[in-house]
Amino acid sequence: MQYISTRGGIAPLSFTDAVMMGLARDGGLLLPQHLPAVDHSTLNLWQQMSYQQLACAIVSLFIDDIPQRDLEDLIDQAYASFAHPQVTPLRREGDLYILELFHGPTLAFKDVALQFLGNLFSYILAQRGGFMNILGATSGDTGSAAIAGVRGKKGINIFILHPHGRTSPLQALQMTTVLDANVHNIAVRGTFDDAQAIVKSLFNELDFRDQHQLGAVNSINWARVLAQVVYYVYAYLKLRKNGHGSVDFSVPTGNFGDIFAGFVAKNLLPAGCLHTLILATNANDLLTRFVHKGDYSKGQVIATSSPSMDIQIASNFERYLFYLHDERGDKVQADMEQFTQSGRLDLSRFRTRTAEDFLSHSVSEEDTIATIASFHQAHGYLLDPHSAIGVKAAQVCRNASRPVVCLATAHPAKFGAAVCKAIGSEPPLPPALADLDKRESRCEILDANVAAVRRFVAAHALAA
C-alpha cells in the first residue's frame, strides 16, 4: 500500500514513511492510493475476534512494510493500558447505543489512536535510528493523549500547543502536569485554529522541518485516522451479531478527523453496512453548514462547554474534499489556496453526493446541557458535553428502522462544570484525575504567532 498527497505534489510513500512525514511536503494530507474493501465472508471471520485481533486485521490492509508479528506486538502494547478488556465497549441505553471510547490512560477517544502512534514512532526510530521532535496542536484531548503516548520515550521530544484558557481546567492540567524532560507544553494566546495554523506553517517551512525532524501527532497524521477506523467496525460487528445488518453512527466532531475515520470504515465495509454518518457539531457549525448548504466558510470561534469542538477550520476536511473531487489533487490544491485567501468555499454542487454519506445537526449550548440532564434522568448514564452533542444529533436525525451508535468521546469527569450545570453536582473524579490540581505544573505561555513558537521549538528541540 502506497500513500499519496491530497494535493498531488509528492511521489508515493510507504506507510512508515507516511507516518514519519505526517503532513505531506506539498502542504496536503496523506491518504492511501486506494481504500480497501472487504466482503461478508471476511466479516464472518472478524466477528469472532477480540478488539486487538480486529485492529491488527484492519490496519494490515493498509500496512505492508511492518512484519505481522511486530504489528501485533505494537497493537497489544497500545491497548494494554486500557481499563476495559474490550478497549471500546458498546452498551445500550434506551433506544441508542453508546460506544465508550474513554477507557484509555487520559480518558478520551484520542488514546485509541495515540497509544498506537506513540509505539509506531518508537518502533520506526529503533529501525532507522535518529530522533524526532513532535509538534502538535490540541483543542483539548489530543495533547494529553499524545503526551501520554510518548512521554519518556528515547529519541523523541514533544511540543504541544493549546489555546490558553480555552480548554477545560482538567484538560489543561492533564498536559501541563507531565514533567518528563521530553515534554513541552505551550499555551498560545488565541484559539485552537490559531495554534493549528502555527503548526501547519512550521511544517511547511521545509528547512526548519528537516533540521528539527518534525513529526505530527494531530489527525493530519494518517496513522491517527487509521487506528480510529477500527472501533467503527468493532461496534458494527457487535450489532451485526445481534441481527442488525445496517447501522448508523453519530459522531461529535469539529476537526473532521473522527468522522473521516467513519467514512473510511463505511467504504471498507460492504455496501449498506455502515449506512449513515450523523455529523454532530456544537455552535461552531462550519461542518453542518457544509452538509446542509455546501457552505464551507470559517466564522468566529465560539467558546462552549465542548471545547474540543470549538473549531472553525477543520483540518481533516481536505481528505474528504479529495474524494469529492474524484481524487484530483490539482482541484484540491486550487480549493485550498482559495480557502486560505478568502476563508470560504462554495461546495453546493456536491450536496447530493455529500447527502449519501452524512446527515448533520448543530446542537446549541442550551440543548447540550439539557441532553446531559435528560439522558442522566432517563437512564442513569452520564454524558460529557461532546458525547451529549452526538446523542442529541442522533435523537434529531436517526432513522427508527436502524440502530444508531453514539460515540462517547470523553469521560464526563473531564468536564465537571458542564455536568454540574446539568445535574446539580460534579461527577466523581477517577483516580487518574483526582489529584491533578495538586501536582506541579509546567507550561510556556506565548503569543499566537509563528515566530514565537519557532524560537521556542528551536531552543528546546532534540538535535543530531
| pLDDT tens, position by position, 335-358 | 999 999 999 999 999 999 999 999
Query: Is 122 inside a domain boundary?
Result: no
> Average pLDDT, stretch 434-442?
92
Q: How many helices (H) and strands (E) does the chain have?
A: 20, 15
Q: Percentage of residues in the chain with pLDDT exceeding 70?
A: 100
The angle formed by the CA atoms of residues 135, 141 and 146, to the nearest 5 degrees, is 40
**Predicted local distance difference test score (pLDDT) of residue 451:** 97
pLDDT digit string, tens, across residues 275-322: 999 999 999 999 999 999 999 999 999 999 999 999 999 989 999 999
**Predicted local distance difference test score (pLDDT) of residue 163:** 95
CB neighbourhood size of 95 (10 A) = 11
Give the closest residue to 314 by CA, choosing from 248, 274, 263, 272.
Answer: 263
Q: How confident is the model at residue 149 (pLDDT cuts 50, 70, 90)?
A: very high
From CA 146, how far away is CA 159, in angstroms rounded?
10
- pLDDT at 464 > cutoff 80: no
> Facing residues of 183 across strands?
158
**Predicted local distance difference test score (pLDDT) of residue 225:** 97
Query: Is 233 inside a domain boundary?
Result: yes
Query: Is 441 inside a domain boundary?
Result: no
Q: How confident is the model at residue 51 (pLDDT cuts 50, 70, 90)?
A: very high
**Predicted local distance difference test score (pLDDT) of residue 141:** 83
Query: Is 115 inside a domain boundary?
Result: no
Domain that holds residue 261: 90-105+222-423
- pLDDT at 429 > cutoff 90: no
Q: Percentage of residues in the chain with pLDDT exceeding 90?
A: 94
> Average pLDDT, stretch 5-9?
98
Backbone phi, then psi, for 104, in 5-degree steps? -85, -175
Q: How confident is the model at residue 230 (pLDDT cuts 50, 70, 90)?
A: very high
> Average pLDDT, stretch 22-48?
97
Which amino acid is it at 243? G
**Predicted local distance difference test score (pLDDT) of residue 219:** 87
**Predicted local distance difference test score (pLDDT) of residue 140:** 78
**Predicted local distance difference test score (pLDDT) of residue 432:** 84
Q: How confident is the model at residue 218 (pLDDT cuts 50, 70, 90)?
A: confident
| 3-class state of residue 445 by DSSP | strand
Instruction: Scan for cell 487506528, then name that residue.
Output: 227
DSSP string, 335-388: HHHHHHHHSEEE-GGGHHHHHTTEEEEE--HHHHHHHHHHHHHHHS-PPPHHHH
Name the DSSP class of 155: T
**Predicted local distance difference test score (pLDDT) of residue 139:** 84
pLDDT digit string, tens, across residues 355-388: 999 999 999 999 999 999 999 999 999 999 999 9
Give the closest residue to 290 by CA, choosing from 232, 367, 332, 353.
Answer: 353
**Predicted local distance difference test score (pLDDT) of residue 346:** 97
Length of the chain: 464
Out of 110, 200, 238, 414, the active site residue is 110
Backbone phi, then psi, for 402, in 5-degree steps? -130, 145
**Predicted local distance difference test score (pLDDT) of residue 156:** 96
- Contact assessment for residue 104 and residue 82, using Cβ atoms and an 8 Å cutoff: yes
Q: How confident is the model at residue 135 (pLDDT cuts 50, 70, 90)?
A: very high
Output the nine-digit C-alpha cell for 107.
480518558
CATH number at 340 reads 3.40.50.1100
Output the nine-digit C-alpha cell for 95.
433506544
From CA 370, how far away is CA 397, in angstroms rounded?
17
Query: Is 94 inside a domain boundary?
Result: yes
Query: Is 178 inside a domain boundary?
Result: no
The mean pLDDT value of the chain amounts to 96
pTM: 0.95
**Predicted local distance difference test score (pLDDT) of residue 136:** 94
Instruction: Let me know if 110 is a catalytic residue.
Output: yes
Query: Is 363 inside a domain boundary?
Result: yes
**Predicted local distance difference test score (pLDDT) of residue 433:** 87
Query: Is 401 inside a domain boundary?
Result: yes
Q: Rg of the Cα trace of the chain?
A: 20
Please give the tally of structural domains in the chain: 1
